[in-house]
Structure 1
Amino acid sequence: MTEAKKSLKRTLIGKVVSDKRAKTVTVLVERRVKHELYGKIVSLSSKYHAHDEKGEFKTGDVIEITESRPISKTKNWVVTRLVQKAEIV
């Protein structure tokens, strides 16, 4: 029997907050954790720079990013797919 090899690369889902740089998007990933001492649910957020080769993702899009080799000083993530297109208001 052969089992599917589990990917060791992390994947995150977040919202594009900036697409001003060439081939790069800034993604805001929010997570909710329980405070260790007080038990309150707290929202924590992190920003990641992800590689967008074609420049197809715009501000407000919800995307999935995957960990990769270092592409530049700050880019270690690559956009893998579009989860939800931004709503035009």
Structure 2
Amino acid sequence: MSAQEQTQAAEKNTRTLVGRVVSDKRSKTVTVLVERRVKHELYGKIVARSRKYHAHDEKNEFHMGDLVEISEGRPISKTKAWIVTRLVEKARAV
């Protein structure tokens, strides 16, 4: 397997999530809230579950309210191992 094939295989295996930026106060870091819907094990009701991820934003280009896609990468700090890959939807101005 060549180096290029290994890189492509690694890119296919990386997890990607879509969530909303809830904090952009820190330099080169955004906090992304990812919501998912799961069925309650006992009662069967669909329940919303959420989790916050710290993601790397190299150019400080994403702001609160933006819908972004993040992908898993190498650990950058103690709590940050995700990288913002693209902007899905810009936040609406109020």
2:41 equivalent in structure 1: 36
| Structure 2: gaps (5+ residues) | 1-7
Equivalenced residue count is 86
1:75 equivalent in structure 2: 80
2:66 equivalent in structure 1: 61
2:92 equivalent in structure 1: 87
Question: TM-score, structure 2 length as denominator?
Answer: 0.89
For 1:69 and 1:56, locate their aligned partners in 2 and report how far apart those are by CA, in whole Å: 21
| Structure 1: gaps (5+ residues) | none
Q: How far apart are 1:52 and its partner, in Å?
A: 0.1
Q: Which has the higher helix share?
A: 2
Question: TM-score, structure 1 length as denominator?
Answer: 0.93
Measured on the aligned residues, the alpha-carbon RMSD in Å equals: 1.1
Q: Which whole-Å deviations, capped at 9, do the CAs of 1:12-54 have from their partners, x for residues lacking one?
A: 0000000000000000000000001110000000000000000
SS at match of 1:7: helix
Question: Which of structure 1's runs of 4+ aligned residues deviate more than 6 A?
Answer: none
